[in-house]
Amino acid sequence: MKAPIFALVDCDNFFVSCERIFRPDLTDHPVVVLSSNDGCAVSRSNEAKKLGIPMGAPAFKYQELFKQHQVAKFSANFELYGNISRRITELLTTVTPRIEIYSVDESFLDLSELPIADYAVWGHSVRAAILQWTGVPVSIGIASSKTLAKLASNRAKKLPELGGVLNLINNPDTDMYLESVAVQDIWGIGRQLAPKLRAEGIDNALKLSKMYPKLAKQLTGIRGRQTVTELDGISCFPITLGSQRPKTILRSRTFGEDTNSSHIVESALASFATTAAFRLRRSGQLAKQIGIFVDTNRFKPGFRRWTKNMSYRTPIADTGQLINDAVSMFGEIYNTGVAYHRAGVWLQDFVPDDQLQIDIFGNTNIHEHDTSQKRMQAIDSLNERYGKHTVHYATQDLARQWQPKRKLCSPRYTTDLNELPKAKIVHTTNK
């Protein structure tokens, strides 16, 4: 077996970069993308970072600064970001099928079996291809462990002279790069472990890489010891191919406005049950438990949360049944005097959908289960072919008022035929 070599491909300011693909006028201009209900900044362009807008900045507090510097603001357009993310993954899969999708904007690639003569040259060519084919700038770190690849991509992002790529394989400057990364910025260390390490005089990645593994384990546990080994160039965390099956699925949202209408909350719960059930079927699983929660506003006095859950003898993935149960559980806790602010549906206790157990009491109705599976397959394929809500349950429609506000949302350029970008051709005649 060859020595492990990893690349981490990490999109720069991902949501902002997606917005800029179709708004080239915003290049070099400060841009922020705001979270649900346009509350907080969740992605910032480099120009916005330079203005001192921190991650998670509440939009209402920065209104003046936004105005003064004409910061372009967008509501999060998850249809667009999800689509661009899939395009980048598809492109990377053509480089190697040995890919681990780590998050919406980061993937690890296993390069150990690829015939690459010069890793830095390879990195620059992949970076250029992604930029040309999708319009998104990325940073690439290449190293003999995932932790080092993460660190290298962080340096590639922060140091403009690297042009977006840093290769640490046989790089004589490796120690210098390690020294320049603070201990809390190392993957797997974070805010909780960092103070303990700093108290021992270990404040950067180079010092941590030279720590005795025994002491590292005492201070930070097994994961910390592995991080030290990884920083020393020895891989402990192998690549995880494909996407893992989730163990729980949660769908929740803060409403656009507080409400005490049962119809509005039911419609929200029905939508969450629908998307959760779709995700469940996609992962090839059935659920044995469903739960719901409803909240008042936690920032107002008298905050309360109500939860309910129920179990199924026969595990299911049927949207209609799950909606029914979510709505009737809400019926049991509904109170006309409450201003509901947020709600959610979760599914858990999963089994693979090809391993439906027939219980000894004969409670499993196989015929009913098969009919439900076929119905769901039909709905999913229609919705995949003709668009998200082509076939849906009526409860979802009772009221759409619960939906979060997205006043500043850009068009769904890549996923909706009615919102395609328009191009103008200007004809000029040279004299």
51 in helix, strand or coil? coil
State the minimum distance, in angstroms, from the CB of residue 256 to Mg ion: 28
Q: How far is the CB of 349 from Mg ion (least distance, A)?
A: 33
Nearer to Mg ion, 105 or 230 (CB): 105
In 36-141, alpha helices (H): 46-50, 63-68, 78-95, 119-134
**Residue of closest CB approach to Mg ion:** 105
Chain centroid offset of residue 429 CA: 48
Q: Which of residues 355-414 bind Mg ion (CB under 5 A)?
A: none
Q: Cα–Cα–Cα angle for 209, 210, 216, nearest 5°?
A: 75
CB closer to Mg ion out of 11 and 316: 11
Q: Which residues pair with 305 in a beta bridge?
A: 295
Amino acid identity for residue 216 in this structure: A
Reading the block at residue 388, the tokens are 């998200």
SS3 state at 252: strand
Q: Which residues 6+ apart lie within 8 Å of 93 measured at CB?
A: 99
Residue 210 identity (one-letter amino acid): K
Please identify, among the stretches 63-71, 105-113, 125-133, 420-428, the one whose residues bind Mg ion according to the rule CB under 5 A: 105-113
Secondary structure element (H or E) that encloses residue 381, with its range: helix 366-386
Stretch binding Mg ion (CB under 5 A), from 6-14, 180-188, 189-197, 338-346: 6-14
Of 36-44, 100-108, 303-311, 315-323, the segment contacting Mg ion by CB under 5 A is 100-108
Residue 282 near residue 244, CB atoms below 8 Å: no
Smallest gap, in angstroms, from Cβ of residue 9 to Mg ion? 10
Find the DSSP H helices in 159-244: 174-179, 190-199, 205-209, 213-231
**Cβ at position 10, least distance to Mg ion in Å:** 4
Give the nearer residue to Mg ion in terms of CB position, either 10 or 47. 10
For Mg ion, the closer of residues 140 and 206 by Cβ is 140
- In the complex, minimum distance from the CB of residue 245 to Mg ion, in angstroms, rounded to a whole number: 25
Say how many CA atoms lie within 13 Å of 334 toward its Cβ: 17
Judged by beta carbon, residue 149 or residue 268, the one nearer Mg ion is 149
Give whichever of 44 and 225 is closer to Mg ion, judged by the CB atom. 44
**Cα angle vertex 11, ends 7, 13, to 5°?**
145
- In angstroms, the Cα distances linking 202 to 152, 196, 199 are 19, 9, 7
Residue 81 vs 255, nearer CB to Mg ion: 81
Residue 17 Cβ, how far from Mg ion at the closest point, in Å?
Answer: 9
152 vs 345, which CB is nearer to Mg ion?
Answer: 152
- The number of helices, as runs of H, and strands, as runs of E, in the chain is 13, 12
The stretch near Mg ion (CB under 5 A) out of 104-112, 121-129, 296-304, 380-388 is 104-112
Give Cα 23 distance to the centre of its chain.
23
Enter the DSSP assignment of 403.
S
Closest approach of Mg ion to the CB of residue 152, in Å: 14
Q: Which of the ranges 8-16, 20-28, 188-196, 258-266 carries the binding residues for Mg ion, by CB under 5 A?
A: 8-16
Of 105 and 266, CB closest to Mg ion: 105
Q: Using the rule CB under 5 A, give the single segment among 61-69, 97-105, 224-232, 257-265 that binds Mg ion.
A: 97-105
Token pair 């840093």 in the structure block, residue: 166
Q: Taking CB under 5 A as the criterion, which residues in 115-144 touch Mg ion?
A: none
Give least dist CB 55 to Mg ion, A: 12
- CB-wise, 104 or 250, nearer to Mg ion? 104
The contact pattern for Mg ion, residues 51-90, with x = CB under 5 A and - = no contact, is ----------------------------------------
Residue type, 124: H
Q: Which is nearer to Mg ion, 107 or 209 (CB)?
A: 107
Is residue 105 near Mg ion by the rule CB under 5 A? yes
Quote the least distance from Cβ 193 to Mg ion, whole Å: 22
Residue count at the site for Mg ion (CB under 5 A)? 3
Cα–Cα distance measured from residue 182 to residue 179, given in angstroms and rounded to the nearest whole number? 8
Q: Which of these, 394, 375, 103, lies nearest to 271 by C-alpha position?
A: 394
**Least distance to Mg ion, CB of residue 14, Å:** 5
Q: Least distance (Å) from Mg ion to the CB of residue 72? A: 19
Dihedral over Cα of 64, 67, 72, 78: its sign = positive
Binding site for Mg ion (CB under 5 A): 10-11, 105
